[in-house]
Structure 1
Amino acid sequence: MSGTAPGSGPARKVGLVTGAGSGIGRAAALEFARSGAAVAVLDIDESTADETTEMIRKGGGEALTVAVDIADERSVRAAVERTVTAYGGLDFAVNNAGMASHHRQLDRMTADEFERAVHVNLTGTFLCMKYELPLLRGGGAIVNIASNGGLYAIPHAPAYVAAKHGIVGLTKAAAVDYAPDNIRVNAVCPGPTRTPGFEKVAAGTDMVAGQEAITPLGRLATPGEAAAAAVWLCSDAASYVTVIAMSVDGGRRA
């Protein structure tokens, strides 16, 4: 990528974002498009992906909706291949799709609940990377959206924490293995972010106030603030940055 934006320079860059139908994924897809990149908008919910695609097109950008279930290997392979067929290549990918897990302690969680959360979050990220990495042209960059739960514990979320820690480890392993190919792999670890999903869970509770009280910056992130980190990590401004898990949590790690 030339300059500081993924789409700057004479050749339009191509990227894909999973879970781009809402929240951080949508914000990232919109920002990549504003930077001039062509964006494949991947989501299990094709209708919300279509909304993101239409937003990009109305803003003068180029986008393509691709339905994908990241828990299904054939679906992931088809989605990545469709992106490359449509645009002729792949320069970056943001693997954002995932799921929350049941809010309960480990001994009260069934094996099926645990395995489902790990399969969608961790194995799903693995599957995306498996098919993205060989198709990245001229090096390229991958950003995996983990969580602050990938850096430290979150109470009553054992499966989620285990999966997100796994994403951070997978990111580091891939970054080392593919560095000789000039491929950079990083993770973004957002703290609580005011996505539609978070707002739905927090509605009618004091969750927002409670989370803000333990955040040094005194507020929660917007989806765009978390997405901005991913966009930067995919740009040439971060050309010497790899193998990191960037905390975007308002100072909570301190």
Structure 2
Amino acid sequence: MRLENKVAIITGAGGDIGRATALRFAEEGCRIAVADIREEAGAHTVDLIKENGGQAFFVRTDVTSPEDIENMVNVTIDTFGKLDILFNNAGVNIDESKIPDVSLSDWQRVMDINLNGVFLGMKYAIPKMESGSAIVNTASIAGIKGQKLLSAYTASKSSVIALTKAASTEFGRENIRVNAIAPGVIDTDMVEDWKNSNKWSALSTANALRRVGKATEIANAVLFLSSDEASFITGETLIIDGGTLNL
């Protein structure tokens, strides 16, 4: 198995991509700390892993809280004895609006979760990780190409890409790899509102493959970057968008 004897923390593991990744990791022999602010959703992910014979536990985590993040790391090591993989996946978006109409509270909330949550995850996890460990941060193609009416989300995800590059150079000598993923439109709860809009038909086919991505397809990419198969890859952002940026 590709992650046999490995231990991973996955934030936002109660959501679609986090849950799919947690299940995929568990299939490959990884023990999982399921971190999420939503207790019921996180507990459900743990139940699914255990039903399939995997090992996991839930730790309630608000990724904007340094205390919660530090506790998340410490509890994982206390439970499983080590930490090999960190998937900084928790994220949010806000309703579309032009920059002058974005409230300061909405802007700060997106930055606190999408960017600061990634920073805090690495801040507290890296000192406890050993040579051969891997970190994957969730960015977005919006952070590469820019997305009108989603300025806070775009800025946060672009910053995640830059932070990933910085971290990879800082810890490469310690053989701790840091990469990011940049999904396109993926069939998750985050796009539910779009499905009811008149632009969904265009959004759902706006790529070379002419379809929406699946959470399991993101999970497989994260698995690759977290595994020894990607042992010579660091500081990169893997675009998973069905060819959206090529159009």
- TM bracket, shorter-chain basis: over 0.9
Alignment of 1:20-39 (within 5 A): 20-39=13-32
Paired with 1:150 and 1:131, the residues of 2 have a C-alpha distance of: 25
Paired with 1:47 and 1:213, the residues of 2 have a C-alpha distance of: 33
Q: CA deviation at 1:192?
A: 0.8
Alignment of 1:203-222 (within 5 A): 203-222=195-214
Paired residues of 1:147 and 1:190 also in contact (CA < 8 A): yes
Q: CA deviation at 1:212?
A: 2.8
Q: CA deviation at 1:90?
A: 0.3
Paired with 2:51 and 2:233, the residues of 1 have a C-alpha distance of: 33
Paired with 1:41 and 1:213, the residues of 2 have a C-alpha distance of: 32
- In the alignment, which of 161, 164, 175 is matched to residue 157 of structure 2? 164
Aligned to 2:245, the other structure's residue is in SS state: coil
Alignment of 1:1-254 (within 5 A): 5-7=2-4, 12-198=5-191, 200-254=192-246
Q: CA deviation at 1:204?
A: 2.6
Give the TM-score normalised by the residue count of structure 1.
0.94
Amino acid at match of 2:45: T
Paired residues of 1:102 and 1:113 also in contact (CA < 8 A): no
| 1:90-116 superposed Cα distances (whole Å, 9 cap, x missing partner) | 011100001112310111112222122
CA RMSD of aligned residues (A): 1.2
Paired with 1:132 and 1:97, the residues of 2 have a C-alpha distance of: 15
Q: CA deviation at 1:207?
A: 4.0
Amino acid at match of 2:159: G
Paired with 2:120 and 2:177, the residues of 1 have a C-alpha distance of: 17
Runs of 4+ more than 2 Å apart = 202-208
Aligned-pair identity in percent equals 35
Aligned to 1:253, the other structure's residue is in SS state: helix
* CA distance 1:207–1:42, shift in 2 (3 Å): farther
Moved more, 206-215 or 54-63: 206-215
Mind listing any 5+ residue stretches in structure 2 that lack a counterpart? none
Give the TM-score normalised by the residue count of structure 2.
0.96
* CA distance 1:25–1:207, shift in 2 (3 Å): farther
| 1:223-247 superposed Cα distances (whole Å, 9 cap, x missing partner) | 0101111110000110001110110
| 1:10-43 superposed Cα distances (whole Å, 9 cap, x missing partner) | xx11011000002111111000000000011110
Paired with 1:155 and 1:189, the residues of 2 have a C-alpha distance of: 17
Paired with 1:81 and 1:208, the residues of 2 have a C-alpha distance of: 42
Moved more, 217-226 or 99-108: 99-108
Q: CA deviation at 1:203?
A: 3.8
Paired with 2:205 and 2:242, the residues of 1 have a C-alpha distance of: 11
Aligned to 2:132, the other structure's residue is in SS state: strand
Paired with 1:48 and 1:110, the residues of 2 have a C-alpha distance of: 29
Paired residues of 2:207 and 2:245 also in contact (CA < 8 A): no
Mind listing any 5+ residue stretches in structure 1 that lack a counterpart? none
Paired residues of 1:221 and 1:249 also in contact (CA < 8 A): yes
| 1:41-96 superposed Cα distances (whole Å, 9 cap, x missing partner) | 11000110100000000000001111100011101111111011100000111000
Amino acid at match of 1:36: G
